[in-house]
Amino acid sequence: MRFVVDHILGDAPADPALAEWGDQGARRSATCWRGDHEIRAVLAGLSGGWIDPSYGGDPIRNPDALHTGRNIYGFDPTRIPTRNAYVAAQKAMAELIETHTETHGAAPKKLAFTLWSTETMRHLGLLEAQIMVAMGVRPIWDEGGRVTGMEAIPAAELGRPRIDPVISITGLYRDQFPPNVMERLNEGIVLVDALDETPAQNPLRANTARIADALRAEGVEGGLAEAYALTRIYGNESGNYGTGLPDAVMMSGKWEENDDQLSGGYLMRMSWGYGPDTALWSQRLGDGRPRQRQRLCDAAFGHRCRGLLALVQPARAARYGSPVRISGGCRWPSARSTGKARSFTSRTCAIRTGLRCNRPGGSWRRSCAPSISTPVGWPR
């Protein structure tokens, strides 16, 4: 606020970079407050004239969404993740690794991520960027901010071991982002798997080799075993939606805490692969149980953005939300396979204020990524 008073409304000198930023904000504000854009656009449309197109979205994260009165398209998946989202993801992943190391005595080797299409539209690829940062890859952007490729970060520059991701996607995410975001994530997975690094430095490569050997021992042919072993993205079969867990959870009288009905049901519905080989998309081996080896994760990551300060939980959270979806996909199978229960935390965020609520039982505090008002969460 002081910066606005002194440098936007007043004439106090400022650092050149901040001054340019302030001037840009002042010009944008003057344009937005002019107020006749919508009326002129309506008149142009009624008379068969041209209406300028505009990239829409949350104006806090995407100031180019303003001014109104343009023919907006709600989302451009070729820009996922944005540069700002990637910078915020680097901070978030550094905090996650630090916190996990302090809590468990070692950095995580495998992390699970759950991706929603609507959340990606809100945070512009923050969680996707965190997956990339975890693996040690980064996007290549063109001058227009569109992602045109991926590149592996050299081990010396990365300065830490890579992390093997397991990515769970919703049905809508599968439908909306295949040619852009999902294939970019797979491109990064292939790049990391091709690196000649030790198992300690590159758990993704080591796990892929281990799983491929296990599948070949089960009778899966070589090329198919390698393709399935390299798969890290899982979801519903094409055309299906939902985890099937809400109804099962409510029928608690028909299952015991330590049986595998919930985890087994989750894996049955959510074990369809979407790996680097698109010819094998929406396929799986058998009933999907071999995929359980991919889900032995150290921690899980979810992201929920809301402008209502998390006062209202949408109904869909019960179906795809972190408490059910992440626990069902990671905690139960991990406990059944290893005998050790994993601890996972869901974070609900308020994107409009830059605040973060640590749920459950937490307190509000400032986001660590104020440049794009990005609240982030990590397992404790």
Smallest CA-to-CA distance from 347 within 310, 304, 313, 314 is with 304
- What pLDDT is attached to residue 245? 72
Smallest CA-to-CA distance from 126 within 87, 164, 98 is with 87
- Whether the CB-CB separation of 115 and 173 falls below 8 Å is answered with yes
Neighbouring-strand partners of residue 283: 273
Q: Provide the strand spans (E) within 92-159.
A: 110-115, 137-141, 147-152
Residue 361: exposure state from Cβ atoms within 10 A (0-12, 13-18, ≥19)? exposed
- What pLDDT is attached to residue 140? 97
- What pLDDT is attached to residue 304? 58
Q: Give dist(CA 291, CA 12) in Å, integer.
A: 61
Neighbours of 40 (CB within 10 A): 12
CA separation (Å) from 124 to 31, 57, 108? 25, 9, 25
One digit per residue, the tens of pLDDT, for the chain of length 380 reads: 666 666 666 666 666 767 776 777 777 777 777 778 889 999 999 999 999 888 776 676 667 778 888 888 767 888 899 998 999 999 999 999 999 899 889 999 999 898 988 888 878 899 999 999 999 999 999 987 899 999 999 999 999 999 999 999 989 899 988 888 999 999 999 999 999 999 999 999 999 999 999 899 988 887 899 999 999 999 988 888 887 777 777 766 666 666 666 777 777 778 889 999 999 999 887 655 545 455 566 666 666 555 433 333 444 444 444 444 444 445 555 555 555 545 444 444 333 323 333 333 333 333 333 233 233 332 32
- What pLDDT is attached to residue 75? 74
- What pLDDT is attached to residue 9? 65
- Crossing angle of helices 183-193 and 222-230, in 10° steps, is 110
Q: Report if pTM > 0.75.
A: no
Q: Give dist(CA 380, CA 369) in Å, integer.
A: 19
- What pLDDT is attached to residue 46? 93
Smallest CA-to-CA distance from 152 within 140, 164, 138 is with 138
- What pLDDT is attached to residue 252? 66
Tokens of 173: 């995410």
The tokens 């409510």 sit on which residue? Answer: 250
Edge-first strand listing for the sheet containing 364-366 = 304-306, 347-350, 355-358, 364-366
- What pLDDT is attached to residue 178? 82
- Whether the CB-CB separation of 356 and 366 falls below 8 Å is answered with yes
DSSP label at 359?
T
- What pLDDT is attached to residue 121? 82
- Whether the CB-CB separation of 194 and 276 falls below 8 Å is answered with no
- Whether the CB-CB separation of 125 and 138 falls below 8 Å is answered with no
- Whether the CB-CB separation of 281 and 245 falls below 8 Å is answered with no
- What pLDDT is attached to residue 218? 87
Q: Residue 55: phi, psi to the nearest 5?
A: -75, 120
The tokens 């009905």 sit on which residue? Answer: 261
Smallest CA-to-CA distance from 379 within 166, 101, 128, 170 is with 101
Q: Give dist(CA 378, CA 94) in Å, integer.
A: 10
- What pLDDT is attached to residue 50? 93
Q: Residue 138: phi, psi to the nearest 5?
A: -140, 150
Radius of gyration for the chain, computed over Cα atoms and rounded to the nearest angstrom: 23
Q: For the chain, what are the domain ranges?
A: 2-77, 78-372
Neighbours of 222 (CB within 10 A): 10
Q: Give dist(CA 17, CA 266) in Å, integer.
A: 51
- What pLDDT is attached to residue 144? 79
Q: Residue 326: phi, psi to the nearest 5?
A: -70, -45
Q: Give dist(CA 63, CA 57) in Å, integer.
A: 9
